[in-house]
Amino acid sequence: MAGKFSRSWALVKASATVLRSDKELLVFPLVSAIATVLVAASFVLPMIGLGVFEHMGRNDPMRPMLYLWSFGFYFVQYIVIFFFNTALVGAAMIRLDGGDPTVADGFRIARSKIVPIIGYAAIAATVGMILRAIEERAGFIGRIVIGMIGVAWTVATFMVVPVLVACDVGPVEAVKESALLLKNTWGENLIGNGGIGVAFGLLTLAVMLVGGVLTGFSAVNGMVPVAITLGAVTVLAVLGLALVQSALAGIYSAALYRYATDGQAPSGFDGAALQEAFRLKKG
């Protein structure tokens, strides 16, 4: 576990170096987060207002319409997420190649890939809906199996966005290329070791624990204004960590793509840490 965290922290530091050089990369996950919230609100609030979720049972004749609504929701959300991820990864690749990207560069790249982005969003939404439908009807063991399939899909498509950025291919070819790159670079028995998620998961947990304890202590001792302030600071800190993690994850995926295609770690990245990014840990 210590070695795993050490490698993850090395990737965090290397990605953070890129982010410090191009702080504008934070714009992409920030705008993406705002857009996804707006999309969710536009889909969910009308349904809540109509009381659809309260009366929708398993055998309800309107249930197929709910599946159609869910597909539309996933589809639009994925378009938004993949668009801004493409912008982020595109800008990160410019930096890794020695350039000096701007926010406009990232959006230009994303706009040029809008057709394959929409196609990949449709594929991802379809896979998500199929897995969800099967999971609802599966037993305990079935849900575990579906969960494993979901993880396999997530890993296999990890490099789809970098592939879309770097290559002039469609969404199906991008999925195939992503899986092939992972297989050729990290082998048959690959599994995600967490990478940046490990380090930020621990950081977020530490912030929540410390913030929760201090907030609770202040509230118990009658320091209500202090408790409210500490609670707000904790929430903002967690949101800030999530924003930075998202930006670093985009940089990380770009670095992994460069490593998988060139066989060389980008400047500032540890080749050993990149090699262990998906390797199944032995022993």
Amino acid at 72: G
Asked if 189 contacts 277 with a C-beta cutoff of 8 angstroms, the reply is no
Please check whether residue 281 lies inside any domain of the structure.
Answer: no
Asked if 218 contacts 230 with a C-beta cutoff of 8 angstroms, the reply is yes
Number of domains comprising the chain: 1
**Nearest alpha carbon to residue 161 among 82, 74, 107:** 82
Instruction: Count other Cβ atoms within 10 Å, centred on residue 196.
Output: 23
Q: What are the DSSP E strand ranges found in 79-198?
A: none
Please check whether residue 263 lies inside any domain of the structure.
Answer: yes
Q: What is the pLDDT of residue 26?
A: 93
Amino acid at 220: V
Instruction: Count other Cβ atoms within 10 Å, centred on residue 120.
Output: 25
Domain range for residue 177? 2-275
Please check whether residue 206 lies inside any domain of the structure.
Answer: yes
Both tokens assigned to 22:
């191009």
Please check whether residue 119 lies inside any domain of the structure.
Answer: yes
Please check whether residue 280 lies inside any domain of the structure.
Answer: no
The Cα 126–Cα 1 span in angstroms is 36
3-state helix, strand, coil in the chain (%, to 5): 80, 0, 20
Amino acid at 277: A
pLDDT tens by residue, 51-99:
666 655 555 566 667 778 888 999 999 999 999 999 999 999 999 888 8
Please check whether residue 91 lies inside any domain of the structure.
Answer: yes
Both tokens assigned to 125:
């939404």
Residue 16 contacts by C-beta under 8 Å, 6 or more apart in sequence? Answer: 248
The Cα 126–Cα 133 span in angstroms is 11
Q: What is the pLDDT of residue 153?
A: 86
Please check whether residue 46 lies inside any domain of the structure.
Answer: yes
pLDDT tens by residue, 101-131:
999 999 999 999 999 999 999 999 999 888 8
Residue with tokens 């809540």, as numbered in its chain = 48
Please check whether residue 200 lies inside any domain of the structure.
Answer: yes
**Nearest alpha carbon to residue 160 among 147, 169, 150:** 169
Q: pLDDT under 70 in the chain at which residues? A: 1-8, 50-64, 139, 187-195, 277-283
